[in-house]
């Protein structure tokens, strides 16, 4: 005859076995929670790093395209770049003296371009803009900026130089 009464003899789990199994499952669950939070933090950090690198690539491309459009004629010996805190004006965009390439920072965004084509990138803080060249004759610019907490520098040369601006052929 089969009995319907539970825990008769050695057929059921004792209270001690149930507590030990519960503690084991709780420990496994705790380890999984700790590991998953570490994975989530690491993936968030990697995502922020990737976002910063992608933004830096966009800024670099925009700066290089804008600066490459600067084409001073060979006779423009008085060619000067207007660099002030937070902005830069470069004449001879497209070879026209009055056309300007503008690089400026406003409200945690960097604006780069000309009157015809401009791009504004958020999450970018401008650190400095300096002229590259010798004896006051600019050959290009160096722009230092921070994208999502990491500092980057872009050095770009103009598409042409005034005579005497470079000793190299």
pLDDT in tens, 40-75: 888 888 888 888 899 999 999 999 999 988 888 777
Length of the chain: 169
Grouping H, G, I as helix, E, B as strand and the rest as coil, residue 5 is coil
Whether the Cβ atoms of residue 73 and residue 161 lie closer than 8 Å to each other: no
pLDDT the model gives residue 78: 63
pLDDT the model gives residue 32: 86
Reported in sequence order, the residue ranges of the chain that DSSP labels E, i.e. its strands, are 82-84, 87-90, 101-106, 109-113, 118-122, 124-134, 137-147, 150-157
Q: How far apart are CA 85 and CA 103, in angstroms?
A: 11
pLDDT the model gives residue 27: 92
Instruction: Extract the residue ranges of the chain whose pLDDT is less than 50.
Output: 165-169
């Amino acid at each position: 005859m089969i009995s319907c009464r539970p825990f008769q003899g050695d057929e059921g789990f004792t209270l001690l076995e149930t507590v030990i199994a519960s503690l084991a499952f709780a420990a496994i669950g705790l380890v999984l929670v700790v590991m998953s939070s570490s994975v989530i933090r690491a993936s968030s950090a990697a995502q922020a790093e990737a976002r910063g690198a992608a933004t830096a690539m966009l800024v670099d491309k925009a700066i290089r395209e804008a600066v490459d459009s600067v084409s001073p004629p060979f006779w423009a010996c008085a060619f000067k770049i207007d660099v002030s805190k937070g902005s830069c004006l470069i004449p001879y965009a497209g070879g026209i003296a009055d056309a300007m390439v503008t690089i400026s920072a406003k409200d945690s965004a960097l604006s780069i371009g000309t009157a015809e084509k401009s791009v504004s990138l958020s999450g970018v803080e401008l650190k400095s803009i300096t002229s590259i060249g010798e004896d006051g004759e600019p050959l290009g610019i160096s722009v230092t900026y921070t994208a999502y907490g990491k500092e980057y520098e872009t050095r770009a040369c103009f598409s042409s130089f005034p005579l005497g601006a470079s000793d190299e052929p």
